[in-house]
Amino acid sequence: MTDLVAHAAARGGATAIDAPFAEVAGINDRVDLAACETAARRQINEAWMRAGVTMVDPATAYIDADAGPLGRDVWLGPNVSLRGKTSVGDGARIDAGAVLVDVEIADHAYIKPYSVLTSSTIGSRAEIGPFTHCRPGSRVDEDAKLGNFVETKKAHLMAGAKANHLAYLGDASIGAKANIGAGTITCNYDGIAKHQTTIEAGAFVGSDTQLIAPVTIGRDSYVGSGTTVTKDVPRGALALTRVKQVNVEGWADRFREAKAKRKKSGDEH
């Protein structure tokens, strides 16, 4: 930049203009770079706040220059990052520590703390998190819910569907108002190729279930907890693969008594 004066003089002169120092300051090292980035971020945040966005702590809100639009009455918690082409609809709430990269958030959606979303689409009034990970290709429609420690990849949850706890949903289509129990896994990769799981509307998938893709869970069907599904479940059916439970009466008492006798015998010798 210091050479510009000499170049201008060689062309016949220069015109002086006034500008904020932060906008024309030179960047010679990483300290200067950080200072300029801080100034630019403050400018971006102030513009969005004047447009109707609430930031709990503007100093810790990171919004890329390409992000937007951000709707009116959007609420951003501390340490939120909106990266890439992320857009946020009116009245949406993005809570502490959330990181969104190239994500489309519809009106009144709620992204709960410490969720990470990439190249995904979130519908109106949907709830995500806390600690949810939406990988590329995830789509969550209106009123659907993804809860704590749920991971999705190329998964489409239709209106009102929910997976509230500890699930992996990859290469999956999940119908309206379907319920996915805790610990459910779509086993989508066979070591060579990825396969699709289809869970139709109204289906109930119990906890600790493995769905071996490709497989379809029919509309309004039930999958019992602890089931490994390897073939399609018809509409309205119950799928169950549990091992039959056997109760041996008195076994625990006899085991403890025998253990105590062995211990006493060892002490005597």
Domain boundaries, given as residue ranges, for the chain:
69-268
Mean pLDDT of the chain: 94
Q: Which amino acid is residue 268, in one-letter code?
A: E
Q: Give the residues of the chain that fall short of pLDDT 70.
A: 267-269
How do residues 178-228 score in pLDDT, each as one tens digit?
Answer: 999 999 999 999 999 999 999 999 999 999 999 999 999 999 999 999 999
pLDDT at 190: 94
Q: For domain 69-268, which architecture applies? A: 3 Solenoid (2.160)
Q: Does the N-terminal peptide bond of residue 136 adopt cis geometry, omega within 30 degrees of 0?
A: no
| Percent of the chain with pLDDT strictly greater than 70 | 98
pLDDT at 267: 59
Contact 94, 77 (CB under 8 A): yes
- Catalytic site includes residue 165: yes
pLDDT at 108: 98
Task: Report which of 168, 179, 172 is spatially closest to residue 222, judged by C-alpha positions.
Answer: 179
Q: Is 114 exposed, middle or buried (0-12, 13-18, 19+ CB in 10 A)?
A: middle
pTM of the predicted protein model = 0.87
Annotated catalytic residue, options 7, 108, 133, 165: 165
Q: Which amino acid is residue 81, in one-letter code?
A: S
Within 13 A of 44's CA, how many CA atoms are on the CB side?
A: 21
